Amino acid sequence: MQSRLLYDIIGLALFAGVILFGVPALFGYDGFELNTFSRYLSLAIVSMALALSWGTAGLLNLGQAATFGMGSYAMAMHLKLKASGDNLPDFMSWNNVEALPLIWAPFHSLTFTLLAGLLIPAAVGGLIAIFMFRARIAGVFVAVITLAFLVAFQLVVIEQQGLTGGQNGLTGLAPLVLFGWSVDIYSLSFYYLVGACLMIALVFGLYLTHSKFGLILRAIREDSERTRYFGYNVANYQTIIFSISAGLAGWAGMLYALVLEFASPTYMSVSFSLAIVIWCAVGGRESVLAAAVGAILVNLAEGRLSDVFVEGWHLLLGVLFLMVVMFMPRGIYGVIVDAGRAMRRKPVSKKEAQPFETSLNPKRES
């Protein structure tokens, strides 16, 4: 356990070095490239958030995009109000909204927005979690409930045109002013802001997974029934990690809305939510660091390859993903861990390496 912590810290230090110094130097401090990379970094946060709930606690949340979207709308609402000045936001007058709706009013305040982008998704995630886990819903059903919630939530957002801008989302945003610093999204300092957020999220994630709390979560993932018999309140642990994961996703959403300068209902689409699952699976869901790396690598590949293979890119992505699921179920992380183990030890014969299991009746979700 101690050595794993050491490896994770070394990994994080390397990652931080590459992201904070390597990448800007490599791209010659070019504003456009830095902006593209800040986008990848904000997506890395939502991927590591999923690794916390999926990889650590075994809760496959297919609705991660919903909480991500909430964060992005919180930020976009603040910036939209600022762009509109004393007038109503433009799309509201198109939809015959007379006065500023009540839930928009507090978003004039930056402090409220930053808190809301973190706490509202966390609260919503917590409520869904309480609703599910008190009834001991597990496995596939968690995926179905979160997926249904995501679809319903996206429909609501599109439906409420006067409140959310409907299908178009929120566009024409003002730049964010943070402590008197007007954020230029093509600047190096903005890149460092996003990078710092990612690093804080990763340190927090690593702290959680290496704490006793993380250990209990892994126990729940392996056998929730047995953990319950040991006297742990499984539902509470699941609720807390689900809520933390949702909060982090909201935070990532805020950054994403800043980077792209708009918020749109496509952030809450099923395909976006499943894309997050792909990044997380490719990197390795057991490690928050690996999940973040996975998000950056897949998006980087998408950015480069979709220029070359405009048509076939999605096909390639599908094949890549299928290969990862079939041959590298633990992602890149699993490959590295296995390679490291193989180097340190003499190869173990296959028979010993497999945990003892009766193969007559393969265990499955019911």
Report the interface residues with another protein, using CB under 8 A.
60, 131-132, 135, 137, 139-141, 143-145, 147-149, 151-152, 155-156, 158-159, 270-271, 274, 277-278, 281, 311-312, 314-315, 317-319, 321-322, 325-326, 329, 360-362, 364-366
Written as six digits, the tokens of 128 are 């869904």
| DSSP letter string, 107-176 | GGSHHHHHHHHHHHHHHHHHHHHHHHHTTT--THHHHHHHHHHHHHHHHHHHH-HHHH-GGG-B-SPPPP
Which residue, 87 or 95, is less far from another protein as judged by CB? 95
Q: Tokens for 89?
A: 């936001």
Q: Closest separation between CB of residue 174 and another protein, Å?
A: 31
Nearer to another protein, 201 or 275 (CB): 275
Dihedral sign for Cα atoms in the order 148, 149, 153, 159: positive
Nearer to another protein, 172 or 318 (CB): 318
Q: Toward another protein, which CB reaches closer, 143 or 203?
A: 143
Furthest C-alpha separation in the chain:
74
- To the nearest whole angstrom, how small is the minimum distance from the Cβ of residue 270 to another protein? 7
Shortest Å, Cβ 237 to another protein: 19
By DSSP bridging, strand 181-182 and strand 177-178 are: antiparallel
Three-state DSSP at 283 gives helix
- The nearer residue to another protein, 11 or 165, going by C-beta atoms, is 165
Under a CB-based contact definition with an 8 Å cutoff, are residues 146 and 62 in contact? yes
Least separation in angstroms between residue 145's CB and another protein is 5
For residue 288, which amino acid is it? V
Least distance (Å) between residue 10 CB and another protein:
29
